[in-house]
Amino acid sequence: MRTLKKVLVVEDDQAFRTVLSETLEAEGITVFKAADGKTGLDLAIKEHPDLIWVDVVMPVLTGLQFIKELRKDVWGKTACIVLLTQLHNPTVVADALENGVFKYFVKADHSVEDVIAETKKYFASLPY
Amino acid sequence: MPSLTIIFSASLALIAGLAFYVRSRFLLEKMSGKEKETGRKMYELAILKELGDRIGYSLDVHEIIDIITGSLRQFIEYSAVSYMLIQPEKVIFKVQLEKSVNRGFLNEIRERMLGSLSALLDKELSKSVIEEVLSGVILSEDTNEPVRSFFNIPLVIGEKVVGVLTVSDTKPGLYKEEEMTILYKITQQASKAVSKLQEVVRMEQRKLNSMVESMADGIVMTDNDYRVLVANPAVKTLLGLVSARELSIFDIIEHVAGKFDIRSKLEESIKLGKVLEVPEVILGERFFQIFISPVKSTAAMTSGETLGGVVIFHDITREKELDTLREDFTSMMVHELRSPLDGINKIAELIMSDRTHKHAEKVVHEYVPIIHKSSSDMLRLVSNLLDAAKVESGKYQIFKEPIGDIRKLVAERVKFFDPSVKAKQLVVKIEISADAPGSMSFDENALVGVFNNFIFNAIKFTRDGGKIAIQAFLHQRGKDVIDEARRNGVSWFLKEADQVSKDLPSSLVVAITDNGVGIKRENLPLLFNKFRQFQSAAMSGDKKGTGLGLVIAKGIIEAHGGLVGAASEEGKGSTFYFTLPI
């Protein structure tokens, strides 16, 4: 079964980024943090995390731009991505799913624990 | 010599009698001439009145000539009255016979009329199709009388010969100048009336045509068989058929195929006699609302008769864009409000989950500041939204104080931004012309907000080591602002083409100019648009501003009776200016 060892959080909202990272770190997971899409992209390509949480509305590169850019990378093509959104925008979600995002959360509808637990469950069910 | 006397007296009597006879005959003739003339005048008047009445409803040349020919015999003697009218594909030859004549007579007047019509039009007509209509007395081959009297009058309408009117007789020498003059007068009157009426109709048609031509909506009118009668330039443009001179229904069907069934909609509309609406059709890259309506005659004679249908293409692209913009604004607003709120909520969760309080340090130094920042962001956003809403509804209230000092205000603002200015090593120059009043009436707190916004933006969009100028000068009503600025040594990005309002009252003009990145020409009009600004600020992740500052600044200045504007050259810098009436 796959388990999360290192993850990347690409989120411009400091509060959510902090809470998510702190909670993950408390579980012993290594967390890389980025406050914008560009920094996130560089970190992803450098660190090859097991999973990436990415926000949609962000400066420099938006979440969708981040995903599209990442998919151009050899490793990034198959990277695991979870989308975090504050707006349930069906076109954005559809676009993200088309780009191989396997799960998305509307932030306000879930507690951070939920987000982590659900993500882990999905991640574990993925084949190697 | 009695006999001589008798003869003499008889002669005298005879002479006298003769003289009397001649005289009375002369008188009689004179009398009947007068009567005759009165009769003619009466006839002339009557026919002119009748013509006037009838022409009031008719533009039909046939009908008018029929009226003339129908009543002509009261006045002129003739065997036949006839007319020839030029039609697009034939010549109409109509004869009213009063006396029996033979075919030869008829052929002769026909040839003569055709000859004179050819001469008048300078056109060979002998090969034209001639439609002959006979009425009145029947032809008789028993008589063998040729044409002995003949008289032609050209029928002229709107300075164009449309035909000839002819009277003819078997008797010789019938038509004298008098008859000719009167007949000529009548036809002339009739032609004048018709010409005038045609001109009126043409004028109306021109008006209607230019209206249809210049309409922004695309308009197509067809007859009942879907033949295109009218297609204005707008419809050609929207269908991408600009070069087409004549548009057929098939062109249109082909171009809207799969999107809009014009043919069956027209059919339905004409059949039901109802206006139909298709709310949204995409043609090319634009959205159209389409109306299909039957066209019914409103003319007195044919009222209610369906003449065809009209299709109106109304471009709603702009409205659609505005709708999208509004929707985007709402969802961005939700996003911008929910993010900090959700942050606060999640941080609280985190703090609560730490039941052992082993991270008390972290809570105070890391989590609480996040809560503070998130709530501040939200508060600012909410007050900006409220202000923008007030500006939008025109309810933004200002409290003017009578003694405001613009020099002091500017100096304070510059001082306020000193740390940022130093950090970016910017040079800030203040230039307020000597004629700027030392004391003015304005809402100081509100103006502080405006300056903050303009200066903040200038700092933000100027590279390190750049320059910012805060300039003010007095504008005199009726003078040219650009010229006044030049004379006051103001260097800014405003040019003659920027057209600051021509009838600006005497005001203080304040301009904040930077040599920063500048603004794209197409983005200038969007600067003061609430929806656009908010959206772009949110997308750029600019947490320091909601983008609504400019919108609010505009509201504040407008509440002072002034105006706000911006001019820029991309890559070179921008000027934001406002005016305050003195």
Query: How far, CA to CA in Å, does B573 sit from each of B343, B542, B564, B566, B567?
Result: 37, 20, 17, 11, 9
Q: Report the C-alpha gap between B79 and B102 in whole angstroms.
A: 11
Q: Is B349 on the interface with A (CB under 8 A)?
A: yes
Query: How high is the pLDDT of residue B532?
Result: 65
Interface test with A, best of B339, B341, B376 (most A CBs within 10 A): B339
Give the DSSP H or E segment for B170.
none
Q: Is B547 on the interface with A (CB under 8 A)?
A: no
Give the DSSP H or E segment for B521.
none
Instruction: Give which of A15, A68, A82 is closest to A37, Cα–Cα.
Output: A68
Each of the 582 residues of chain B gets a pLDDT tens digit; together they read: 444 444 444 444 444 444 444 444 455 455 566 676 777 677 667 766 766 666 555 567 777 788 778 777 777 889 999 999 888 788 899 999 998 899 999 999 999 999 988 888 888 887 888 899 998 888 888 888 899 989 888 888 878 888 899 999 998 888 888 777 777 877 787 777 777 777 888 888 888 888 888 888 999 999 888 888 888 888 888 888 887 777 888 888 888 888 889 989 999 998 888 999 999 998 888 899 999 999 887 765 566 788 889 999 999 988 888 888 788 778 778 878 888 888 898 888 888 887 666 778 888 888 888 898 888 888 888 888 888 888 878 778 888 888 888 999 999 999 999 988 999 999 999 999 988 888 899 998 889 989 998 999 899 889 999 999 999 999 998 888 888 888 888 888 888 767 777 778 999 999 999 998 888 887 777 788 776 665 555 555 444 455 778 888 888 998 898 999 888 888 888 999 999 998
Q: Is A19 on the interface with B (CB under 8 A)?
A: yes
Q: Do A87 and B347 touch (CB under 8 A)?
A: no
DSSP string, B260-319: --HHHHHHHHHHHT--EEEEEEEETTEEEEEEEEEEE--STTTTT-EEEEEEEEEE-HHH
Taking the CB of residue B510, how many other CB atoms lie within 10 A of it?
25
Q: Report the C-alpha gap between B282 and B264 in whole angstroms.
A: 18
Residue A95: pLDDT band with limits 50, 70, 90: confident
Q: Helix or strand or coil: residue B351?
A: helix
Taking the CB of residue B188, how many other CB atoms lie within 10 A of it?
14
Residue A128: pLDDT band with limits 50, 70, 90: low
pLDDT at A98 > cutoff 70: yes
Instruction: Give which of B420, B404, B565, B581 is closest to B500, Cα–Cα.
Output: B565
Q: A61-70, A83-92, B184-193: lowest mean pLDDT where? A: B184-193
In eight-state DSSP terms, residue B518 is -
Query: No. of H helices and E strands in chain A?
Result: 5, 5
In eight-state DSSP terms, residue B367 is I
Q: Report the C-alpha gap between B419 and A108 in whole angstroms.
A: 37
Q: Is B347 on the interface with A (CB under 8 A)?
A: yes
Query: How high is the pLDDT of residue B10?
Result: 43
Q: Report the C-alpha gap between A61 and A40 in whole angstroms.
A: 9
Query: How high is the pLDDT of residue B32?
Result: 63
Taking the CB of residue B315, how many other CB atoms lie within 10 A of it?
17
Q: Is B539 on the interface with A (CB under 8 A)?
A: yes
Measured at the CA of B34, the angle between CA B28 and CA B39, to 5 degrees, comes to: 125
Q: Is A39 on the interface with B (CB under 8 A)?
A: no
Query: How high is the pLDDT of residue B302?
Result: 64
Q: What is the pLDDT of residues B550-562, one digit of tens each?
A: 888 888 998 898 9
Q: Is B538 on the interface with A (CB under 8 A)?
A: yes
Interface test with A, best of B330, B342, B352 (most A CBs within 10 A): B342
State how far residue B324 is from chain A, nearest Cα, in angstroms.
Answer: 13
Instruction: Give which of B89, B94, B169 is closest to B129, Cα–Cα.
Output: B89
Measured at the CA of B499, the angle between CA B493 and CA B505, to 5 degrees, comes to: 105
Query: How high is the pLDDT of residue B40?
Result: 67
Model confidence, pTM: 0.53
Task: Give, rounded to a whole angstrom, the gap between the first and last alpha carbons of chain B.
Answer: 129
Beta strands in B139-223 (DSSP E): 149-157, 160-169, 218-223
- B positions 356-375 inside 8 Å of A (CB): 366-367, 370-371, 373-374
What tokens were used for A29? 């997971």
Query: How high is the pLDDT of residue B225?
Result: 87
Q: Report the C-alpha gap between B107 and B403 in whole angstroms.
A: 104
Counted residue by residue, chain A has a size of: 128
Q: What is the bridge-based pairing of β-strands B218-223 and B160-169?
A: unpaired
What tokens were used for B151? 């008289």
Query: How high is the pLDDT of residue B22?
Result: 46
Is residue B80 exposed (0-12), middle (13-18) or buried (19+ Cβ within 10 Å)? buried
State how far residue B520 is from chain A, nearest Cα, in angstroms.
Answer: 19
Q: Which residues pair with B312 in a beta bridge?
A: B219, B291
Q: Is B354 on the interface with A (CB under 8 A)?
A: no
Is residue B516 exposed (0-12), middle (13-18) or buried (19+ Cβ within 10 Å)? buried
Q: Report the C-alpha gap between B371 and B4 in whole angstroms.
A: 158
Residue of A nearest to B328 (CA): A89
Query: How high is the pLDDT of residue B155?
Result: 86
Residue of A nearest to B333 (CA): A87
What tokens were used for A99? 């780009």
Query: How high is the pLDDT of residue B2?
Result: 45
B513: phi then psi, degrees, rounded to nearest 5? -120, 135
Taking the CB of residue B405, how many other CB atoms lie within 10 A of it?
15
Query: How high is the pLDDT of residue B48?
Result: 66
Q: Is B337 on the interface with A (CB under 8 A)?
A: no
Q: Do B335 and A62 touch (CB under 8 A)?
A: no
Q: Report the C-alpha gap between B334 and B336 in whole angstroms.
A: 6
State how far residue A43 is from chain B, nearest Cα, in angstroms.
Answer: 20
Residue A1: pLDDT band with limits 50, 70, 90: low
Overall average pLDDT of the A78-83 stretch: 90
Q: Read off the amino acid at residue B547.
A: G
CA B387 to the chain's CA centroid: 39
Q: Report the C-alpha gap between B523 and B574 in whole angstroms.
A: 12
Q: Report the C-alpha gap between B384 and B553 in whole angstroms.
A: 11
Query: How high is the pLDDT of residue B412?
Result: 92
What tokens were used for B413? 């603002």
Q: Report the C-alpha gap between B577 and B451 in whole angstroms.
A: 10
What tokens were used for A119? 């993500």
Report the sign of the C-alpha dihedral through residues B26, B32, B34, B37, in that order: negative
Q: Do B338 and A86 touch (CB under 8 A)?
A: yes
Helix axis angle, B368-392 relative to B317-353, nearest 10°?
160
Residues in A touching B538 (Cβ below 8 Å): 57
Q: Do B343 and A13 touch (CB under 8 A)?
A: yes
Considering only CB atoms, A16 lies closest to which of B343, B353, B542, namely: B343
In eight-state DSSP terms, residue B361 is H
Q: Report the C-alpha gap between B235 and B250 in whole angstroms.
A: 14
Considering only CB atoms, A22 lies closest to which of B343, B350, B540, namely: B350
ipTM above 0.85, yes or no: no
Considering only CB atoms, B541 lies closest to which of A58, A107, A113, namely: A58
Q: Read off the amino acid at residue A64.
A: L
Considering only CB atoms, A19 lies closest to which of B340, B347, B538, namely: B347
Cβ-proximal residues to A20 (8 Å cutoff; 6+ apart), any chain:
A9, A11, A31, A53, A112, A115, A116
Q: Return the HEC string of B440-496.
A: EEECHHHHHHHHHHHHHHHHHCCCCCCEEEEEEEEECCCCCHHHHHHHCCCCCCCCH
Query: How far, CA to CA in Å, does B287 sit from each of B22, B260, B278?
Result: 94, 12, 11
